[in-house]
């Protein structure tokens, strides 16, 4: 039936596929792509300066838990708060740990290798690491791939593939990818409703730039007062959920290091 009547069904099938994609794309994620701290189980802050990743286990740990572990052990030789392995003293040892994790199909370690390649100008090598991490389901890898397709680094410029990887990242809770999708909607002159939906979802994930963009939309009459107020409440709730007295103390104490 598909072969004999493809010409009759193709338009409707493509239309339905687009509808299903939008349903998935515009569903509010429960959490951001960074997830929760594996020790205190509170949502990790979007600001990467407020958390740490150790090469031994590739776990992202909030500075509140890092500092609490340091105060508990009070040792000169610092061990990982999660896996308890001693932290390597040199970058060479850290690189060995990352390579070991990547060999074990750790997608976070692959992203670290990709970032390392990118910083050295090896864009093709960065692409390979990001692509493998994306195949393993890493949301941040999709975002990195979108940037490579945008700039044409390691691959040919491709707006379609860029948009695809941004969508995959956004579906996985990446608020910055969601913000870029809103910008694409604006540049292409599409429905304002789609742009606003992206910004509201990003705001509810605690992304400050989405709130700033929504302020502009509100001033231009593109967002209702009720929608803007709800987005402000959602943004503040997401920000508050990632805070704790222990984290504030840890961030303050570790700022000197």
d(CA 237, CA 207): 11
Which candidate, 242, 186, 240, 189, places its Cα nearest to that of 214? 186
What is the rounded average pLDDT of the residues 47-71? 92
To the question of pTM greater than 0.75 for the whole model, the response is: yes
pLDDT at residue 187 above 90?
A: no
pLDDT of residue 4: 74
More confident position, 206 or 72: 206
d(CA 20, CA 241): 31
pLDDT of residue 75: 57
More confident position, 121 or 74: 121
Model confidence band, residue 1 (pLDDT cutoffs 50, 70, 90): low
What is the rounded average pLDDT of the residues 204-226? 96
What is the rounded average pLDDT of the residues 191-214? 95
84 contacts: CB under 8 Å, gap ≥ 6: none
């Amino acid at each position: 039936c598909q072969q004999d009547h493809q010409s009759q069904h193709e338009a409707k099938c493509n239309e339905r596929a687009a509808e299903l994609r939008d349903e998935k794309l515009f569903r509010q994620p429960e959490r951001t792509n960074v997830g929760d701290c594996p020790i205190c189980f509170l949502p990790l802050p979007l600001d990467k300066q407020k958390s740490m990743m150790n090469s031994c286990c590739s776990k992202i740990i909030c500075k509140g838990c890092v500092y609490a572990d340091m105060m508990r052990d009070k040792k000169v030789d610092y061990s990982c708060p999660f896996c308890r392995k001693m932290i390597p003293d040199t970058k060479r040892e850290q690189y060995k740990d990352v390579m070991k994790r990547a060999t074990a199909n750790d997608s976070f370690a692959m992203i670290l290798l990709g970032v390392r390649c990118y910083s050295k100008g090896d864009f093709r090598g960065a692409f390979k690491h990001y692509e493998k991490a994306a195949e393993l389901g890493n949301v941040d890898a999709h975002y990195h791939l979108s940037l490579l397709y945008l700039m044409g680094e390691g691959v040919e410029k491709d707006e379609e593939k860029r948009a695809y990887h941004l969508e995959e990242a956004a579906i996985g809770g990446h608020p910055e990818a969601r913000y870029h999708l809103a910008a694409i909607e604006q540049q292409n002159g599409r429905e304002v409703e789609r742009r606003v939906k992206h910004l509201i979802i990003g705001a509810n994930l605690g992304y400050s730039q989405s709130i700033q963009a929504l302020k502009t939309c509100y001033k231009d009459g593109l967002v209702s007062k009720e929608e803007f107020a709800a987005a402000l409440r959602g943004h503040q709730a997401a920000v508050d959920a990632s805070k704790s007295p222990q984290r504030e103390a840890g961030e303050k104490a570790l700022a000197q290091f």
